[in-house]
Amino acid sequence: MKVKIGNKIHDANEEPILLIFENDVERYKTLFNISQMPDKSGVRKYLIYPDDIYTEDEARDFMKI
């Protein structure tokens, strides 16, 4: 598993990655959203972003590696 923060990609095979959920609702919501991702080839990215700061186009640009 890899996590992109800013412009740096962190790989769990090279350093620990910790996901911290504020509560069970947030955890269940995230797990549900990930479980609903389509099983299409290449769809392996899940992005959470503040939509009051970033536009959808900015979010898509961020997802490009």
Q: What pLDDT, in 10s, does the model give residues 7-65?
A: 999 999 999 999 999 999 999 999 999 988 888 767 788 899 998 999 999 999 998 87
Domain count for the chain: 1
Q: At 16, which amino acid appears?
A: P
- Our CA dihedral for 25, 41, 65, 20, rounded to 10 degrees, sits at 20
pTM of the model: 0.73
HSE, CB side, 13 Å, CA atoms: give it for residue 37: 14
Transcribe 33-63 into DSSP letters.
HHHTS---TT--------TTTS-HHHHHHHH
Domain that holds residue 32: 2-63
So what's the pLDDT on residue 23? Answer: 97
Token pair recorded at residue 20 = 């911290």
So what's the pLDDT on residue 54? Answer: 93
What is d(CA 50, CA 59) in angstroms, rounded to the nearest whole number?
9
